[in-house]
Amino acid sequence: MQKPVVNVMVKAARQAGNVILRHMGKLDSLNVFEKARQDYASEVDSLAEAEIIKELRRAYPDVAILAEESGAMGKGRQTFIIDPLDGTSNFLRGLPHFCVSIALVENGEPTDGVIYDPLRNEIFSASRGAGAVLNDKKIRVGDRKDLGGSLLITGFPPRERARLGNQLDTIRTLLGDAEDIRRTGSAALDLAYVACGRADGYFEAGVKPWDVAAGMLLVREAGGRVCDYRGRGEQILNAGQMVAGNLRVSEALQKAIVQSGYASSFD
pLDDT by residue (tens digit) across 100-130?
Answer: 999 999 999 999 999 999 999 999 999 999 9
pLDDT at 134: 98
- Spell out the domains of the chain, with CATH numbers in brackets: 4-138 (3.30.540.10), 151-266 (3.40.190.80)
pLDDT at 41: 54
For residue 242, the SS3 value is strand
CB 42 within 8 A of CB 149: no
Which segment of 16-30, 83-97, 232-246 scores lowest on mean pLDDT? 16-30
Taking CA atoms, 63 is separated from 24, 50, 74, 83, 159, in Å, by: 32, 16, 7, 17, 30
For residue 119, the SS3 value is coil
Q: H or E element: which one contains 210?
A: helix 209-221
Burial 219-248 (b: 16+ CB within 10 A, else e): bbbbbbbbbbbbeeeeebbebbbbbbbbeb
- Is the backbone of residue 97 left (phi > 0), alpha (psi -120 to 50) or beta? beta
Percent of the chain with pLDDT over 90: 84
Closest CA to 188 of 119, 263, 97: 97
**Rounded to whole angstroms, how far apart are CA atoms 200 and 222?**
12
Which residues have CB under 8 Å from 92's CB, separation 6+? Answer: 27, 30, 32, 40, 42
Please state the rounded mean pLDDT for residues 76-81. Answer: 95
What is the β-pairing status of strands 109-117 and 99-106? antiparallel
Task: Give the model confidence (pLDDT) of 174-222 as tens digits.
Answer: 999 999 999 999 999 999 999 999 999 999 999 999 999 999 999 999 9
Please state the rounded mean pLDDT for residues 148-162. Answer: 92
